[in-house]
Every structure is written in structure tokens, then in C-alpha cells.
């Protein structure tokens, strides 16, 4: 049960900025409560206690500085173009903090990779991270975003612009190509979404 020493009013503001509702406490000793993804934050005079199955979904928002994480992403398309899906994983020093996947309709594999990166960046932003080390197994996406290769296809060019917009919201970021076996969890999530 993580306990974060902080000003409860500032913590409430931070949670509201992330889109969470602040509810009254259940007892006279509780200043307020907030819930997210199976976790509950309870504020007292000079601290916030986080309980539940996934406390990191709240602790990352409450901690000063927001923290740093490795973020893995992968997109998959069967048919190219064909049915497509994305998967992403946020890993902090405590382990997997969050992951997700979704079907995204019909598109190319490269577009699915870009959409996976966008979803991963949005999730990292929503978790209040300040620094992200992004890892994906698409060399094309990595080199286009880093400016080493041109993005000539109009849809991919638009996706690259969106990625760069999201990256400006972080104090520091890096983007590296990794082999598929290192990106296996994000790959499995994308394929699970396709199989559903």
C-alpha cells in the first residue's frame, strides 16, 4: 500500500488535471478519495495512501516529477492492408505499470505501428510520466520519427506529426529500435486484440 507524503490539495489538483473525479472522504479523517483502474487514493492531512490491484496507475500521477518509464509499442496488420490492432506496455522500476491493446479497423502494418506509438505516448502522458524511453520493433517508424528517413506516404506523414506533438509533452524522451523478442509483450497484446 504506497503512501505518498504530499500536500493533499496539490495532489487533488494533479488528479483532476488528469481527468479524475475527486470525491469526499468516507470518514472525518479523510480529506478526499479518487479512483482509477482498480486503485483508490485516499487523502489525509499530509499524505495520500493508494490501495487496490493497480496502485501504480495513481502513484505515477501523484508523485512529484511524474517519473520515468520504458514504453514498448507494436502494431499488427493481417493482410497489409487488413484487420489491424495495436499493443503497448509501460514499464517502470516497479515492473509493468500498465498495458493495453485495441483493434483499429483495417490499415497497413506501418500505419498500425504508428498508431501503436501514438496510443503508447497518450497512455504515458495520461500516467503523468516526465521521461519516456520508447522501444519498438519497426525500424521504419523509429527512423522516420527520429528524422533519419523521410515519411513520403501522406497518412504516415500525418502520424509522424502527431507523434512529434506528443513527444513535446515530455521533459526527455528516446526512441530505439529493438528486436521483436524484446518487444514480445506489446506484440502479443496486438495479436490478442486481432484474435478477439
- Residue 1 has a pLDDT of 64
**125 shares a domain with 54:** no
What total of structural domains would you count in the chain?
2
State which of 17, 42, 62 marks the end of a domain: 62
**72 shares a domain with 46:** no
Structural contact between residues 98 and 58, judged by C-beta atoms closer than 8 angstroms? no
Cα angle for residues 184, 106, 147 (degrees, 5° grid): 60
**167 shares a domain with 99:** yes
The set of residues, in sequence order, having a beta carbon less than 8 Å from that of 23 and lying 6+ positions away, is 32, 33, 34, 35
Residue pLDDT, tens place only, 92-145:
887 888 888 999 999 999 999 999 999 999 989 878 888 999 999 999 999 999
State which of 11, 34, 62 marks the end of a domain: 62
- pTM for this predicted structure: 0.75
Domain coverage including residue 35:
3-62
**37 shares a domain with 116:** no
What CATH number does the domain containing 157 carry?
3.30.420.10
What CATH number does the domain containing 39 carry?
3.30.310.10
For β-strands 131-136 and 68-77, DSSP reports them as parallel
- Residue 56 has a pLDDT of 67
**116 shares a domain with 31:** no
User: What is the C-alpha to C-alpha distance for residues 142 and 154, in angstroms, rounded to an integer?
Assistant: 17
**84 shares a domain with 57:** no
Residue pLDDT, tens place only, 62-82:
765 568 999 999 999 999 899
**73 shares a domain with 56:** no
Residue pLDDT, tens place only, 19-47:
889 999 999 999 999 998 778 999 999 89
Residue 54 pLDDT grade (very low, low, confident, very high; cuts 50, 70, 90)? low
**30 shares a domain with 92:** no
Structural contact between residues 27 and 20, judged by C-beta atoms closer than 8 angstroms? no
Provide the mean pLDDT of the chain: 91
> Residue 119, Cβ neighbours under 10 Å: how many?
19
**88 shares a domain with 55:** no
Amino acid at each position: 500500500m504506497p503512501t505518498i507524503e504530499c500536500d493533499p490539495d496539490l495532489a487533488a489538483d494533479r488528479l483532476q488535471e488528469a481527468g479524475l473525479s475527486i470525491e469526499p472522504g468516507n470518514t472525518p479523517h479523510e480529506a478526499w478519495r479518487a479512483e482509477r483502474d482498480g486503485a483508490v487514493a485516499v487523502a489525509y492531512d499530509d499524505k495520500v495512501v493508494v490501495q487496490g490491484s493497480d496502485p501504480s496507475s495513481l502513484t505515477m500521477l501523484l508523485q512529484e516529477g511524474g517519473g520515468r518509464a520504458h514504453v514498448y509499442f507494436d502494431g499488427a496488420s493481417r493482410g497489409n492492408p487488413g484487420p489491424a490492432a495495436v499493443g503497448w506496455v509501460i514499464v517502470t522500476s516497479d515492473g509493468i505499470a500498465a498495458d493495453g491493446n485495441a483493434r483499429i479497423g483495417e490499415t497497413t502494418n506501418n500505419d498500425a505501428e504508428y498508431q501503436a506509438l501514438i496510443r503508447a505516448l497518450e497512455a504515458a502522458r495520461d500516467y503523468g510520466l516526465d521521461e519516456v524511453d520508447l522501444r519498438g520493433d519497426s525500424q521504419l517508424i523509429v527512423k522516420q520519427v527520429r528524422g533519419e528517413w523521410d515519411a513520403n506516404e501522406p497518412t504516415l506523414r500525418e502520424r509522424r506529426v502527431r507523434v512529434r506533438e506528443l513527444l513535446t509533452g515530455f521533459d526527455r524522451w528516446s526512441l530505439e529500435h529493438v528486436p521483436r523478442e524484446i518487444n514480445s509483450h506489446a506484440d502479443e497484446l496486438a495479436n490478442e486484440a486481432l484474435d478477439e
